[in-house]
Amino acid sequence: MAQILDIKKKTLGNAEEFLTEKGWEFSEAQEPTDELMGSAVFTYRKSDVSDGAESFLSFVYSSFSDVTRITIQISKKEKYIEYLNSIKGYGCKQLSSKVEDGKIVKVYQGVTTTFVIKSATTSNYYDQEVVTWILSVFSNEDYKLNFGE
């Protein structure tokens, strides 16, 4: 989790270099517009036979401010538990938990950072149902301004 928080503080170029050094592969990017933030997507342990990967990480950024967001998709239960324990270890309190669009959505907030965890089921390349977790990391100010909690 500490590495994810560190990536969030980086510029796009520095984040790309850091992730590449750690074995992540650049996948795609979208430049920011007046209405939308830009993003760069990276994969970790990408499959050779499908578009799947062990993890996907999106670095979301603005060209008008220093606001950044990180979203990481996790497919391994052990990694999800590791991230969840780190969030709780930082002293974050659970603000809410609900079901939204068939996903369990939990929001945790600390002194400066808000974490949103979504638990969902999806079908993999072999048409098997699997659980995935999506962890999004925001500054508290960004989260309150854009998501109202």
Is 16:29 a contact under the CB 8 Å cutoff?
A: no
Which pTM value belongs to this model?
0.90
pLDDT given at position 48: 64
Enter the tokens of residue 67.
Answer: 């606001």
As a whole-number percent, the residues of the chain with pLDDT over 70 amount to 95
Give the tens place of pLDDT for each residue, 94-142. Answer: 999 999 999 999 999 999 999 999 999 987 777 888 899 999 999 999 9
pLDDT given at position 46: 78
* Rounded-to-integer distance, Cα 147 and Cα 149, Å: 6
Q: What is the pLDDT of the chain when averaged over all its residues?
A: 93
Enter the tokens of residue 10.
Answer: 């980086």
Burial 18-28 (b: 16+ CB within 10 A, else e): ebeeeebeeee
Q: Does the structure show a pLDDT above 80 at 51? A: no
Give the tens place of pLDDT for each residue, 28-49. Answer: 999 999 899 999 999 997 766 5
pLDDT given at position 90: 96
Q: Give the containing element (helix H, strand E) for 3.
A: helix 2-8
pLDDT given at position 123: 78
Domain segments of the chain: what residues?
2-147
pLDDT given at position 71: 98
* Rounded-to-integer distance, Cα 114 and Cα 148, Å: 12
